[in-house]
Amino acid sequence: MDRAARLAGPLAQCLPLTVPILSAPMAGIAGGALAAAVSRGGGLGLVGGGYGDRAWLERELAIAGDARVGVGFITWALAQSPDLLAVALDHRPAAILLSFGDVAPFAAAIARAGVPLIVQVQTVADARLAAAEGAAVIVAQGGEAGGHGGTRGTMALVPEVVDAVGAIPVVAAGGIADGRGIAAAFMLGASGALCGTAFYAADESLAHAAGRAALLAATGDHTVKGRVFDIARRRAWPADWTIRTLRNRFFDRWVDDPDGLKRQIDAAPDTIEAAARHGDTAVAPVIVGEAAGLIADTGAAATIVARLWADTTSRMAEVAGLD
Ligand SMILES: Cc1cc2nc3c(=O)[nH]c(=O)nc-3n(C[C@H](O)[C@H](O)[C@H](O)COP(=O)(O)O)c2cc1C
């Protein structure tokens, strides 16, 4: 077995992949085409089940066709539409990923279906809970990540989670978008990486062209974390998690005035959705993480997977040569 196949080993034992790279279940961005392209490229693509739109999920799973994709859910939102788990399981997914909430109500049904459960966590305490619920894989997500996350950074969280969960393979997430980051994830004890921002501008993503352009123009300095866009989109996110996006005019206008923002949104509830439809990135959030500064071009998702993995293995070989 070559070195690259050995590195993929722990994840390949429970997930149908040859490259230990997962694409994130990005709500509204990661549909069936993106997830299928990542899986066909050797990684594991995850469809973003998001906030629970059944028709959207059924359509995107149909688009994924016979590719071996997984499905990710926002756990607290799934608790409000629990029937969606059966929709996903009926598609015989390669895995179910749950993030942001209590997985206990869903773990037994996923296990009965014989589907591996991946749990994405932001704290060591939640990693221990995920292990107790029978997670096959645990994603340790640092707050550098695009989208929602906690406050811990990837660098210290990943090895701490690795130490806490024994033999369960851990995948690192948050701020990883090139071979340097994935090689670092292995050094931290992880068995692979889950990337969102790296696939945001992929050809198969559902991101608006204006959002892709904003990502390509940004550096990591341009991201912020807060509640502005959750208030504006009327998403009832629990206090543990805030959303990282590019900083824009709308964020700056409202960051210090959440009560004023609520009044404004009551008067014009469609503000963010309309801006998103029109690609108005001064108002709508471009949901990417600190890795924004590492994304220099776009391309097919399978090419991104291949590029990331070639970069990872050559970086690791380079370091291994320094004995
Ligand atoms: C546009 C976008 C949407 C996201 N939506 C979700 C989601 O619906 N569910 C989820 O578990 N994680 C979501 N995430 C977080 C990812 O699962 C992952 O942790 C993150 O992308 C990793 O950090 P990175 O963006 O630096 O690669 C999202 C991330 C992005 C960039």
Q: For the segment 31-87, what is each residue's pLDDT rounded down to a tens digit?
A: 999 999 999 999 999 999 999 899 999 999 999 999 999 999 999 999 999 999 999
> Is the Cα dihedral 94, 96, 99, 103 positive or negative?
negative
What average pLDDT does the structure give for the chain?
Answer: 97
Distance from C-alpha of 114 to C-alpha of 130, rounded to nearest angstrom: 17
Residue of 26, 120, 294, 308 with the most ligand 1 atoms within 8 Å of its CB, for mutation = 26
Instruction: Judge if the beta carbon of residue 25 lies within 6 A of ligand 1.
Output: yes
121 in Cβ contact with 214 (< 8 Å): no
Query: Which one, of 224, 216, 213, lies nearest residue 281 by Cα?
Result: 213
Q: Which CATH class is domain 3-206+295-317?
A: alpha beta
Give residue limits of the domains in the chain: 3-206+295-317, 209-290
Q: For the segment 106-130, what is each residue's pLDDT rounded down to a tens digit?
A: 999 999 999 999 999 999 999 999 9
Distance 147 CA to ligand 1 centre (A): 5
Quote the pTM value.
0.98
Give me the sheet containing 147-149, strands edge to edge: 147-149, 242-246, 223-226
Rg (the chain; Cα; Å): 19
Q: For the segment 151-190, what is each residue's pLDDT rounded down to a tens digit?
A: 999 999 999 999 999 999 999 999 999 999 999 999 999 9
Distance 148 CA to ligand 1 centre (A): 7
> Is the Cα dihedral 299, 305, 308, 310 positive or negative?
negative
Distance 323 CA to ligand 1 centre (A): 37
Q: DSSP string spanning 144-155?
A: TSSEEE-S--HH
294 DSSP 8-state letter: G
Instruction: Kindly state the percentage of the chain with pLDDT values over 70.
Output: 99
Distance 104 CA to ligand 1 centre (A): 22
Instruction: Judge if the beta carbon of residue 174 lies within 6 A of ligand 1.
Output: yes
Instruction: Judge if the beta carbon of residue 21 lies within 6 A of ligand 1.
Output: no
